[in-house]
Amino acid sequence: MAKYYLGIDLGGTNIAAAVIDETHHFIAEHKTPTLSRRPFEAVVADMAQAGRQALAKAGISPQELEHVGIGVPSNINPHNRHMVFANNLGWTNKDIIGEFKKHMDVPVYLANDADCAAYGEALAGAAENYNSVLMLTLGTGVGGGIILDKKIFLGGNGFGCEPGHTIIVTEGQLCTCGRKGCLEAYASVTALIRDTICAMAAAPASMMHQMCGGDMTRVNGRTAFDAAKQGDAAGSLVVQNYIHYLAVGISNYITLLRPEVIILGGGISNEGENLLAPLRKQAYGLLYAGDLIPETPIIKAALGNDAGIVGAAFLGKQYE
């Protein structure tokens, strides 16, 4: 008899839910806007509703599920399973499992969204053939997940790891977490847009102005990369700086952990080798004993936005 799982990914922009079978195949999915400024309870109610919509499309009842898994942008308290701090949502110490079960009384598992993405890639994506993995998701923030022996590594106290909030520049740019100099403050899409706008203000002749029609609000994570490909000096400098800071963070992670592979996901990873080739060169050049120890592959994620949903859906297997 087929087994079915429901994965839910809570993002800052959208809530995505999908029914997945035991072979990691998507049966049905549903998305809805997060509208995160609303009360916590309203957002969770919509998460449950998104799950019900996906189940209805699949023709499956909640009672037929093995379990529900939810990925959220927060550390998880291992003692009470509450969200500790979702800095991009403004939530602290929230009982998302208890609130969700008011709407759908099924077994529910919870994990950090970046951990879920790393787990999804380890189960069915770019890291399927690796046992030790570090994944960074380069999106609105910088999420990070570590997989050891096909299990999410949560650290010695179980509160999880936050590679995106390791400091790479002391007293640097202010991060959304409230500290200064985090990798997220330099390698997120948010940081890339900030630096692109600053570069455009300093370079009125840059083609980046034409690319966004002179409207700074239209600048996105592709603007500097697209300009750099056409030889624009200001765009090239933004990209070079971006890759430098990302390389600093990655070189530290490799030196500390020596994972079998580093995987990059999120929107910026879609730049492919335009990002990866110079990134590898810089990161490898910063490694301790880099010329004596085999290089850790740095590759693009394979599942895109589906990685977090796949990982969330199978969270129950972490406890088998």
Q: pLDDT (tens digit, 9 = 90+) per residue, 108-143?
A: 999 999 999 999 999 999 999 999 999 999 998 999
To the nearest whole number, what is the mean pLDDT of the chain?
A: 95
pLDDT at 90 over 90: no
**Both structure tokens of 278:** 């110079």
Tokens 């799982």 locate to 5
pLDDT at 70: 98
Q: How far apart are CA 151 and CA 320, in angstroms?
A: 11
pLDDT at 292: 94
pLDDT at 239 over 80: yes
pLDDT at 206: 98
pLDDT at 89: 87
Over residues 215-236, mean pLDDT: 97
Of the two residues 1 and 235, the one the predictor is more confident about is: 235
Over residues 41-49, mean pLDDT: 97
Cα separation of the two ends of the chain: 19
Instruction: Encode burial over 23-41: b for 16+ CB neighbours within 10 A, e otherwise.
Output: ebebbbbbbeebebeeebe
pLDDT at 318: 85
pLDDT at 294: 92
Q: How far apart are CA 120 and CA 225, in angstroms?
A: 28
Q: How far apart are CA 111 and CA 59, in angstroms?
A: 27
pLDDT at 87: 80
